[in-house]
């Protein structure tokens, strides 16, 4: 990250891909590069950071906690995603905590610069709105899943949503997902999720790989 200029880093962020050279140069003077350690909180539920964080490298998860300290993971974030725009738009505290799953490299843009950037560029304002709509649709799907599907269906949905095809078209989850994190994603106990995963492996829906990742089949198919 240190070898690249702020202008070059900005060009790597999809949200700012439509900026002109002059706009990118102007924005580059107002962003700061930061490195976030694994396990650190990027933003915290109930607090206000007054900044937009743009992920250049690394991965994080978004977790919400109720008044009984129960947690649910509502999303995972990766390079190209951004954090904190809702709080910047409505000036309210963050509705969730974002925790770094790995070391992360980010660009940090303050509230005033974000507001000016959105106000001066309709394309960026539109991109931010599309991002908010996508998050709303994702939240709607999660609500339906929790309300209408059993634990088996919810776990299956998370696995299929997380998996990505490799060059052979196989669906793989390359990063190991702990049973506890999976339980927080589907709103069930760790013991129940462990039972579901054991059943899925026995039925041939998933196969655990040597590196801890998973191979996922959309239909029942015993691994060879």
Dump pLDDT digits (tens) for 156-211.
999 998 888 988 888 999 888 889 999 999 989 999 999 999 999 999 999 999 88
pLDDT of residue 4: 73
Residue identified by tokens 């509502």 is 74
Contact 84, 41 (CB under 8 A): no
The pLDDT, as a whole number, for residue 219 is: 62
pLDDT (average), residues 3-17 = 79
Angle (nearest 5°) at CA 206 between 200 and 208: 115
Mean pLDDT of the region 138-145 = 80
Angle in degrees, CA 18, 23, 25, rounded to 5: 115
Q: How far apart are CA 96 and CA 62, in angstroms?
A: 6
- The torsion angles phi and psi of 169, rounded to 5 degrees, stand at 85, 5
Strand, coil or helix: what is 221?
coil
Give me the pLDDT at residue 59, please: 92
Banded model confidence at residue 3, pLDDT cuts 50, 70, 90: low
Nearest to 102 by CA among 30, 174, 13: 174
Q: Which of 95, 89, 88 is nearest to 66 (CA)?
A: 95
pLDDT at position 201: 92
Q: In whole angstroms, give the CA distance from residue 28 to residue 40.
A: 25
Average pLDDT over residues 31-50: 94
More confident residue, 84 or 5: 84
Q: Is 8 helix (H, G, I), strand (E, B) or coil?
A: helix
- What pTM, to 2 d.p., does this model score? 0.76
pLDDT in tens, 73-130: 988 899 989 999 999 999 999 999 999 999 999 999 999 988 888 888 888 888 888 8
Q: Give me the pLDDT at residue 222, please.
A: 45
Q: Is the pLDDT of residue 17 over 80?
A: no
């Amino acid at each position: 990250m240190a070898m690249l200029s702020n202008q070059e880093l900005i060009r790597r962020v999809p949200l700012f891909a439509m900026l002109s050279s002059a706009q990118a140069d102007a924005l580059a003077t107002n962003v700061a590069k930061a490195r976030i350690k694994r396990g650190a909180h990027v933003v915290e539920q109930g607090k206000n950071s007054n900044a937009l964080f743009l992920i250049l490298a690394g991965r994080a998860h978004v977790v919400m906690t109720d008044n009984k300290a129960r947690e649910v993971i509502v999303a995972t974030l990766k390079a190209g995603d951004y954090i904190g725009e809702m709080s910047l738009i409505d000036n309210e505290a963050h509705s969730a905590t974002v925790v770094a799953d790995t070391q992360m490299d980010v660009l940090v843009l303050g509230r005033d610069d974000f507001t000016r950037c959105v106000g001066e560029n309709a394309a960026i304002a539109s991109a931010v709105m599309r991002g908010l709509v996508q998050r709303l649709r994702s939240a709607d799907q999660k609500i339906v899943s929790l309300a209408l599907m059993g634990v088996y269906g919810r776990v299956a949905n998370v696995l299929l949503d997380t998996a990505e095809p490799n060059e052979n078209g196989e669906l793989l989850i390359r990063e190991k997902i702990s049973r506890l994190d999976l339980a927080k994603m589907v709103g069930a106990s760790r013991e129940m999720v462990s039972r579901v995963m054991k059943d899925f492996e026995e039925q041939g829906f998933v196969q655990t790989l040597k590196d801890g990742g998973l191979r996922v089949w959309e239909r029942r198919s015993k691994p060879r």
